[in-house]
Amino acid sequence: MIPNAKIGHIGLYRNEETLEPVQYYYKMPKNIKDKEVIILDPMLATGGSASDTINMLKKDGVKKIKFLCIIAAPEGIERLRKEHPEVHIFTACIDKELNDKGYIVPGLGDAGDRIFGTK
């Protein structure tokens, strides 16, 4: 849909005990600070990974950031609004809440497992 878009990749996974993100990869196009960046993530649950991603981009000097997801939880939206009020959030659906494991309820399961067939 955006044929001239440059693509970067940030690899994060969630520590299942702390529910905090762990970074394992970060690669962005040159001159990223001069670009408008659209973060694509299937889900916005706790907001931890999204917030860390935004912090990484800001560290690289990015000023214009948007966050797009398919499904979000109110807790994740609240966290992003608090920590990064200038970032616009776009989602197709806001579900009810997070459960005690930090999963969106009713949600759609583990997006990473679904995408990569790891479960």
Residues involved in catalysis:
14, 18, 110, 113
CB-based contacts of 78, cutoff 8 Å, min separation 6:
47
